[in-house]
Structure 1
Amino acid sequence: MRERIAIVGVGQTYHKSKRPDVNDVEMINEAVNAALNDAQLHPKDIDAVVMGNIDFFEGRYLSDMWTVDGIGSYLKAGFKVHTGGTTGGTVANCGFFVAASGLFDVVLAVGYQKQDACDSRAALMTWSDPVWDRHIHKGAIGLHARRAALYMRASGAQEIHGAMVRVKEDKGACLNPYAHLKLNLTIEDVLNSPPLVYPLRRVHMCPTSCGACALVIATEKKAKKISRKPVWVKDWTEAHLEKAPVPGIGSPEEEVSINALETAATKLYRRNGITNPRKEIHLIEMYGPTSWSELQWLPELHICDLKDSWKLIEKGVTEIDGELPVNPSGGVVATNPIGASGTLRVAEAALQIRGDAGGHQVTREVDRALATAYGAGGWNVVVLLEKNL
């Protein structure tokens, strides 16, 4: 039987497009120190470390070796993970596994990205097959534009609904001192933003951010000693989706769904007896790389039907003071240090449960929260956090 575990410390950096004042090690150390201070621990109290980033977004490999001093991982057990955009979520999941194994009592999980060090879009293009499609691969914009257009066609949503989500996220970011983009947007600002690929506009897309996030995870016995407000990690899961881009051999269908998110969420709900997520989940921190992602993926999380997700934003259901707040922190479209973006979703959900989110604390009581991460070819992480055991 696995150990019951909790998040007892949370730390993150102030996020910006460029951090010329620090190197990777120094930037990571800001988040690690914040998490250790939050847990009232010292580096010597950490038994194992899990860290992750997308190496070639900084232009070098073996980042776990280069960042030992910033993390405090010298002579400690640990490993590095890299699962594309999902990395931050996988970092959290692996930290949960290590703590739940019973081999270590206190685990530090760290995600980071310093995107001013390299051209991330150029790095993304190298993922493509050099013969088949690298010459047309231009990063994530085309993929997400296509999915947004398919969603609009299937649901009846209009451009204004994507704009409403973006304004909602910006409101949260403006209340979050750690967020990167704080634009004070209006609906008109979004609708008049320069177009990228229909229906995506520039402000719909996530930025390139520099930042880091750290979690301190402890077994039940340790957690109760360390923290007065441990956030219990009830369950976590991950599902991967890959499809070969060769016509006739697993080529992507014309679908709004990313499948793996629904697969992961369904498995997690079933294991935890959740039959009505709309009522039983109190808050969601969703990894949405565009403003349209929230509308597309709420149905994947069984919050509503596909044709109803845009109606939720019209009714204010997902606002910071709504029935089911989604991304009150501003989400990924406000802050996107890719290797840490998934870790941030877990951290922000934990802060909401603790009541420590500050200016972007939601108005309703949060006893149970969901955090997700997305990346690569449709990989998805889903984490369930609770206030009580």
Structure 2
Amino acid sequence: MNKARPLAHVLGTAQVPMRTRLPDLTYADLLGRVAHQAIEDAQVDAKDVDGLILAMSPTTTLGVDEPQYWGIAGLPGSNRFLGRVHVLAASSLAAFRLACSYVASGRKKRVLVVAADLADEAPSLTGALGQLHDPFTERQVTRNAITSAAVQMSAYMARNGLDEAAMAGVVVKNRANGVLNAFAQLRQAVTVEEVLASPIIAWPIKRMDSSPRSSGAAAVLVGSEPGDRTRTAVYATGFGSYAGGRTIGSRMVANDNSYLDGSDLAEAGRRAYQAAGLEDPATELGLAEVYASFGILELMSIEALRLNRGSNAAALIRDGHFHRDSDLPVNPSGGATCGSPISSTGLIRVIEAACQLRGEAGERQVSFKQPRAVVSAIGAAFQIHEVGILEA
């Protein structure tokens, strides 16, 4: 198997267990905790971190518009602050990509990426997120992540002739995986029947189809050298990003069905695969950690990232594919289904992939045929797509 050229090595990682609320920690506390744990995991001195990137979006849950002015004070690398990334749930994976680019260019030797979320700072998370929309057009109808996913899910069901029971399989798979993940917020297995019986929040989306309201934090230190030689080296080999049209309506017109068919994500994936030298991801990848705050997003991601060899992802999951004991496990951590702090969720995908590739995932460790992983994140209303390839 040909090895791709490393862009940057994953030196250290850290995350805190995801919870609905973390009342004993401030935003700055969360950043400081994961930042110092990541450099300790890397066995690097704080003074040797020569770059810091903060991923934070949205800020409406904190009530502070520019958190970098107070949240990063004293963090490793804060004296060489490289900037803040804010593209909603794609923020931290985009920040990770940028950190790797700084290292690959030779401009920096070690860059720390940090992200944190406190979902309990706002009385209503839905209300806070609603402030992001265009006040003159998009607020004329109730549009949020839930109703947007409901449109995608209903279209997917109609296009593939599937019922709600078939769509529930991805949630059942991920919730079973989350039982083994000490960092997951939801750690109870569920059945198809329980998913179907959960309250409808925007048909066909039910409560169990959706990720919970989550607080959490994550950090990753990347560098130009492998670091601790006693651990399996994990490095990034390729990235792809793509930004689609601003509004849903602009992507539901003749000759542009990207909102419903995942073609924008497919383009980001194509770019990442090309950069990493992959031609057949279904056979060249060993695992995937894809963004799935709703089950439908995982199904669309499996197909857009060409992990399904042209078959329907929901049917494949029903038949046992993409489970933790399959040839290509998808979301062995339980994914965003089991907890999704908005700013941190992309970095959590990177951390899980790195831990799995190193064989350090403990009870949730999977066996993989190829030491490569794909990670993805999606920002806004299926508009901003980030895809990365990690290899060991």
TM-score range (shorter-chain normalised) is over 0.9
Deviation of 1:217 (Å)? 0.1
CA–CA distance in structure 2, aligned partners of residues 271 and 366 of structure 1: 18
CA–CA distance in structure 1, aligned partners of residues 41 and 15 of structure 2: 11
Q: 1:247–1:338: structure 2 CA closer, same or farther, 3 Å change rule?
A: closer
1:322 is paired with a residue of what secondary structure? coil
1:86 is paired with a residue of what secondary structure? helix
- Worse overlay, 354-363 or 305-314: 305-314
Matches within 5 A, 1:12-91: 12-54=15-57, 55-69=59-73, 71-91=75-95
2:287 is the alignment partner of 1:283: yes
Deviation of 1:134 (Å)? 1.1
CA–CA distance in structure 1, aligned partners of residues 81 and 42 of structure 2: 20
Q: 1:110–1:255: structure 2 CA closer, same or farther, 3 Å change rule?
A: closer
CA–CA distance in structure 2, aligned partners of residues 286 and 225 of structure 1: 28
Aligned length: 384
Q: 1:226–1:210: structure 2 CA closer, same or farther, 3 Å change rule?
A: farther
**1:186-223: CA deviations, max 9, x gaps?**
2221111111112111011111211111001000xx32
2:98 is the alignment partner of 1:99: no
Match of 2:218 in 1: 213
Selected match of 2:113 from 109, 131, 135 = 109
CA–CA distance in structure 2, aligned partners of residues 311 and 347 of structure 1: 29
Q: 1:245–1:274: structure 2 CA closer, same or farther, 3 Å change rule?
A: closer
CA–CA distance in structure 2, aligned partners of residues 285 and 248 of structure 1: 26
Structure 2 gap ranges (5+): none
2:87 is paired with a residue of what secondary structure? coil
Q: Is the 8 A contact 1:49 1:79 kept in 2?
A: yes
Selected match of 1:301 from 284, 305, 319 = 305
2:278 is paired with a residue of what secondary structure? coil
2:335 is paired with a residue of what secondary structure? coil
Q: Is the 8 A contact 2:43 2:228 kept in 1?
A: no
Deviation of 1:6 (Å)? 0.7
The residue type paired with residue 52 of structure 1 is: A
Deviation of 1:250 (Å)? 6.5
Structure 1 gap ranges (5+): none
1:233 is paired with a residue of what secondary structure? strand
CA–CA distance in structure 1, aligned partners of residues 10 and 351 of structure 2: 9
TM-score, normalised via structure 1 length: 0.93
Percent of aligned pairs with the same amino acid = 28
Deviation of 1:304 (Å)? 2.4
**1:113-159: CA deviations, max 9, x gaps?**
11111233223222222121213234211110110111111112221
Matches within 5 A, 1:231-380: 231-244=234-247, 253=257, 256-304=260-308, 307-377=311-381, 378-380=383-385
Q: CA RMSD in A?
A: 2.2
The residue type paired with residue 218 of structure 2 is: C
- Worse overlay, 120-129 or 188-197: 120-129
Selected match of 1:228 from 218, 228, 231 = 231
Q: 1:70–1:25: structure 2 CA closer, same or farther, 3 Å change rule?
A: farther
The residue type paired with residue 158 of structure 1 is: D
1:175 is paired with a residue of what secondary structure? coil
Q: 1:364–1:225: structure 2 CA closer, same or farther, 3 Å change rule?
A: closer
- Worse overlay, 86-95 or 247-256: 247-256
Deviation of 1:375 (Å)? 1.2
2:340 is paired with a residue of what secondary structure? coil
Matches within 5 A, 1:171-186: 171-186=176-191
The residue type paired with residue 362 of structure 1 is: V
Selected match of 1:10 from 8, 13, 16 = 13
Match of 1:133 in 2: 138
**1:83-117: CA deviations, max 9, x gaps?**
12211211211111121121111110112211111
CA–CA distance in structure 2, aligned partners of residues 253 and 342 of structure 1: 25
Q: 1:306–1:296: structure 2 CA closer, same or farther, 3 Å change rule?
A: farther
**1:15-47: CA deviations, max 9, x gaps?**
100011111111222212221121112321211
CA–CA distance in structure 2, aligned partners of residues 288 and 186 of structure 1: 18
2:232 is the alignment partner of 1:189: no
The residue type paired with residue 265 of structure 2 is: L
CA–CA distance in structure 1, aligned partners of residues 377 and 230 of structure 2: 26
CA–CA distance in structure 2, aligned partners of residues 245 and 208 of structure 1: 24
Q: 1:306–1:155: structure 2 CA closer, same or farther, 3 Å change rule?
A: farther
CA–CA distance in structure 2, aligned partners of residues 247 and 47 of structure 1: 42
**1:320-341: CA deviations, max 9, x gaps?**
1111100010101111110000
